[in-house]
Amino acid sequence: MKPVRPVDAAGLVLMREGSDGPEVLMGRRHRRASFLPDIYVFPGGRVDPGDMVPSGYPEEIANGLAGQLAIGHSRRNPMPLLRAAIRETFEETGLLVTGPDLHPTPARLPAQPIWRAFADAGRRPAFERMDYICRAITPTASPRRFNTRFFLARDAAYAGSLAGDGELVDLAWRPVTAMWSMALVDVTEHVLREALTRWNEKTSLGSRPASLFCYVGETARVLGRGSKG
């Protein structure tokens, strides 16, 4: 059978400093989920049509990210990917990824609930605090395939209460060291290691090329940071 064409998607790694080292926010996909049931994942999902519309807020991103995100991305405009990552995080966790400062409501706001939520909170989305760490492509044999860009929120603030739409259960901040014993798939382990390295090394945003995680048959491969693949 002809492989299914992967759809664009985005995921976001949220980390914070805890009493026992860095903590990461992850949840377990519901056991009835059609994709990766009972597996712990980062918040994220496919790019929706609404993500093509500007948020109404300043959409500045770190130097170098636009060029990296253009690789393997037919639309070339990187902003739908970042908007999707922030939107999916809000929907699945109840948290707004924002800067530490309050921000006035834009004069004109799109209809999407995510951007209205920022306005209601008096905050703005922290696009400029997001680092691009990995692109992952689902195996060709999978009936559902995604071309996912994973981002890391760096020095961001989180507004709202931890809740979500129910897609992720057992949602909690946990020490990164505790996650290695949880039910993770190979790509999630890779992204978590990449995120932890950047967190510990305090890598400048946009300075380190993203890795490419893909499969040759059913064998996982990391083709190197910044590989065009």
Whether the pLDDT of residue 165 is over 60: the answer is yes
Residues 6+ apart with CB under 8 A from 25: 14, 15, 42, 43, 93, 95, 162, 171, 172, 173
Task: Determine the Cα angle at 16 with ends 13 and 21, to 5°.
Answer: 115
User: Facing residues of 14 across strands?
Assistant: 153
Q: What pLDDT is attached to residue 150?
A: 97
- Band (pLDDT 50/70/90 cuts) for residue 229 is very low
- Nearest of 160, 161, 156, 151 to residue 208 by alpha carbon: 151
Alpha carbons 81 and 73: distance in angstroms, whole number: 10
Q: What percent of the chain has pLDDT over 90?
A: 59
- Nearest of 40, 6, 22 to residue 152 by alpha carbon: 22
pTM above 0.75, yes or no: yes
159, 85 contact by CB (below 8 A) = no
Q: What pLDDT is attached to residue 47?
A: 95
Q: What pLDDT is attached to residue 29?
A: 85
> In 79-188, where do the E strands start and end?
96-98, 130-137, 146-153, 157-159, 168-175
Whether the pLDDT of residue 1 is over 70: the answer is no
- Band (pLDDT 50/70/90 cuts) for residue 94 is very high
Q: What percent of the chain has pLDDT over 70?
A: 93
Q: What pLDDT is attached to residue 34?
A: 60
Whether the pLDDT of residue 227 is over 50: the answer is no
**Is residue 90 left, alpha or beta, with left meaning phi > 0 and alpha meaning psi from -120 to 50?**
alpha
46, 7 contact by CB (below 8 A) = yes
Q: What is the pLDDT of residues 112-145, one digit of tens each?
A: 899 999 998 989 999 999 999 999 998 888 888 8
Alpha carbons 51 and 115: distance in angstroms, whole number: 11
Residues 6+ apart with CB under 8 A from 226: 68, 209, 210, 211
Between 103-107, 147-151, 172-176, 205-209, the lowest mean confidence (pLDDT) is in 103-107
Average pLDDT, the chain: 88
Q: What domains appear along the chain, each with residue ranges and CATH number?
A: 7-222 (3.90.79.10)
Locate 131 and state its tokens. 């680092």
